Structure 1
Amino acid sequence: MARFIAADFIMNVPIPPIFLYEVDYSFYEVMDGLQRLTAIYDFYTGAFELEGLEYWQELNGRKYQDLPEQVRRGIDRRYLSSIILLQETAKSNDEAEFLKQIVFERLNSGGEKLTPQETRNALHNGKFNQLCIKLGQNPLFRKMWKLPLESESEKLLEDERYRKMEEVELVLRFFAYRHIDEFRGMTVEKFLDDYLKQANHYPDQTREQLEILFNETIEVVYDIFGESAFLLPPIGKAYKSPTKTIYDAMMQAFARNIENKEKLIRQAKIIKQNLYVKPKLSAHRTDKSIFDGRYTGSNAVQKRIDFYHQFLQDYIS
């Protein structure tokens, strides 16, 4: 996208305006157009060379600072329009968030519908959201979810889950479900929205601690289950794809027992063998809804967390 923006600047092709929200006097938050601004910044700082120009082919392979002076002066005269939603439009922070949500949805209603996580990324792209993006690159996490690694650029571009930021939402779910008691009377989408808005205000120390917790939990789960983690119980048939139903609960149970990770890893083989087969813990045989992905409410999730948590107690006591 960056190269297309640069080409448009050279040819003086109009670029759609950006939308800003005034968070404080003369301080703005980008609601729509961050990619355009980033592309322009990268172009001016020499982050990439021009390529694919059809009408100015002699400029291909050059960075901004390598362009002829006359061309640079022409580019510098270009401008990017902006539409600003003023702070006084909203009477409170809640009203401001609601207003931004409406504006953003209307801006994106004409094209391909964004996923909830893509919308979160645009509306609430604070430090915690950036942490979720970073943790989504954890190679063990990606292996368990059968996602291309960050180094596999071609596969990433072809992966629809990556384009929709599904791995980022999975990370967010891990942190949000640590507060499952607050997940009452609302949809999962709103629960995640509300949590991210709060978490973006966490202090640096809290974010650092949560980053460690996520990485350690992923490590112990991978050491025990490998790439077969997060599969549904083999009731009647074997499953091959990971599910949120198992991921949400298993991750919470292991995170709650992370101080015993060394004990658990030492018993990895027997833990993997005994999961779902020990009679006293085979709750799925009497309550099939416990592992039914159609049940996503807080009570169902809590049942699944309790199942894994109780199972682990035999290996840490």
Structure 2
Amino acid sequence: MEIWSELEGYTYNQLPLNIKAALARRSLSSIVLITESASDPEEALLLKQIAFERLNTRGVALTRQEVRSCLYYGKFNQLLFEISQNHILRKAWGIPIDDNEAIWRNRLYTTMEDVELVLRFFSLRHYHKIKENLQNFLDKYMIKSLGFYDKDIAILRNIFLKTISLAHQIYGKNLFNPKPFELQNITFKNKPYKTYYEAVMVGLSNHLDSEDVLIARKEKVIEATKQLFQEDKDRLLTGGGKTKADIQKRLRLFDDMLAQVINE
């Protein structure tokens, strides 16, 4: 025992009366989820998550990704943590590399937003299947990931690493940061945007077979990206629009732009 080490080895009956009395006043609550109330395993897991989140109201509340990590721990979740340490990703998002003290002061790291960034990439590659809000879509992808095999994990790892390497070769130090594309009437904060990150990563992952073409034409990709921001009246690439239609439109716009550059 780390606290009250002098009680080490005692049974309950051997404890002093005042300590036994204190323990008797304490209770440990439990909630039993009856999985039979759900129609299928996926619904049962979602029910479990809802209950978990409602109980997560005291002390320091967990973020949505922290809850996912607790409930859906498996090989895919381990992959998310592994990939979140990628140096290109960390540098783009301002997450310290090889600095154990500084990293604990980084909000993206301490709230697992870096891990969620990786999850967003994998799940949004199937954006045409979105039927609800993004967070629920991410939840369901985590549930499905529990059935992934080792070969699936290896394929996903390779897709992410090839995609972020390609993105870095094209956009360099401005990766996921739209600041270089602002105009007189359009200003952006000098930081990476999640929505822009999603569009770049998902779009490029769909064209990995044209990697050499995209690198050779990277100036055209950059110019076409600038044009997208000029025409993006709804600011879909920088956080405007949260609906299913907005997400799908944003990702399609970027994907179509890349296809056009490739087919020129």
Q: Which residue of 1 aligns with 2:209?
A: 259
Q: CA deviation at 1:316?
A: 2.6
Residue 97 in 1 paired to residue 45 in 2? yes
Q: CA deviation at 1:154?
A: 0.7
Higher relative contact order (CA 8 A, sep 6+): 2
Tell me which of 65, 70, 82 is aligned to 1:122.
70
> Following the alignment from structure 2 to structure 1, what is the Cα–Cα distance between the partners of residues 5 and 216?
61
> Following the alignment from structure 1 to structure 2, what is the Cα–Cα distance between the partners of residues 300 and 289?
10
Tell me which of 232, 245, 257 is aligned to 1:311.
257
Residue-by-residue CA offset, 1:157-180 (whole Å, 9 max, x unaligned): 111211100011010000111111
Counterparts of residues 56-135 of structure 1 (less than 5 Å): 74=8, 89-91=34-36, 92=38, 93-94=41-42, 96-135=44-83
Tell me which of 152, 156, 164 is aligned to 1:210.
156
Q: Structure 2 vs 1, CA of residues 98 and 296 (structure 1 numbering), >3 Å: closer, same or farther? A: closer
Structure with bigger strand share is 1
Residue 300 in 1 paired to residue 233 in 2? no
> Following the alignment from structure 2 to structure 1, what is the Cα–Cα distance between the partners of residues 6 and 125?
51
Residue 271 in 1 paired to residue 221 in 2? yes
> Following the alignment from structure 1 to structure 2, what is the Cα–Cα distance between the partners of residues 98 and 122?
13
> Following the alignment from structure 1 to structure 2, what is the Cα–Cα distance between the partners of residues 77 and 215?
54
Tell me which of 2, 7, 11 is aligned to 2:2.
7
Q: CA deviation at 1:98?
A: 4.5
The one-letter code of the counterpart of 2:86 is: N
> Following the alignment from structure 1 to structure 2, what is the Cα–Cα distance between the partners of residues 274 and 90?
51
Backbone CA RMSD of aligned residues? 2.9
Q: Which residue of 2 aligns with 1:193?
A: 139
Q: Structure 2 vs 1, CA of residues 273 and 189 (structure 1 numbering), >3 Å: closer, same or farther? A: same
> Following the alignment from structure 2 to structure 1, what is the Cα–Cα distance between the partners of residues 105 and 35?
41
Q: Structure 2 vs 1, CA of residues 103 and 75 (structure 1 numbering), >3 Å: closer, same or farther? A: farther
Q: Secondary structure at the match of 2:242?
A: coil
Q: Which residue of 2 aligns with 1:221?
A: 167
Q: CA deviation at 1:220?
A: 0.5
Q: Which residue of 1 aligns with 2:191?
A: 241
> Following the alignment from structure 2 to structure 1, what is the Cα–Cα distance between the partners of residues 102 and 10?
37
Q: CA deviation at 1:107?
A: 4.2
TM-score, normalised to structure 1, is 0.67
> Following the alignment from structure 2 to structure 1, what is the Cα–Cα distance between the partners of residues 9 and 154?
42
Q: Secondary structure at the match of 1:153?
A: coil
Q: Which residue of 2 aligns with 1:57?
A: none
Select between 115-124 and 226-235 the one with higher mean Cα deviation: 226-235
The one-letter code of the counterpart of 1:90 is: T
Q: Which residue of 1 aligns with 2:16?
A: none
The one-letter code of the counterpart of 1:121 is: S
Residue-by-residue CA offset, 1:204-249 (whole Å, 9 max, x unaligned): 1111111100010000001111231212341423531111111111
Residue segments in structure 1 that go unaligned for 5+ positions in a row: 1-5, 13-73
> Following the alignment from structure 1 to structure 2, what is the Cα–Cα distance between the partners of residues 226 and 234?
17
> Following the alignment from structure 1 to structure 2, what is the Cα–Cα distance between the partners of residues 215 and 193?
23
Q: Secondary structure at the match of 2:168?
A: helix
The one-letter code of the counterpart of 1:192 is: L
Q: Which residue of 1 aligns with 2:17?
A: none
Q: Which residue of 1 aligns with 2:108?
A: 161
Q: Structure 2 vs 1, CA of residues 76 and 161 (structure 1 numbering), >3 Å: closer, same or farther? A: farther
Residue segments in structure 2 that go unaligned for 5+ positions in a row: 13-27
Structure with bigger helix share is 2
> Following the alignment from structure 1 to structure 2, what is the Cα–Cα distance between the partners of residues 163 and 292?
23
Q: CA deviation at 1:314?
A: 4.5
Q: CA deviation at 1:118?
A: 0.8
Q: Which residue of 1 aligns with 2:177?
A: 231
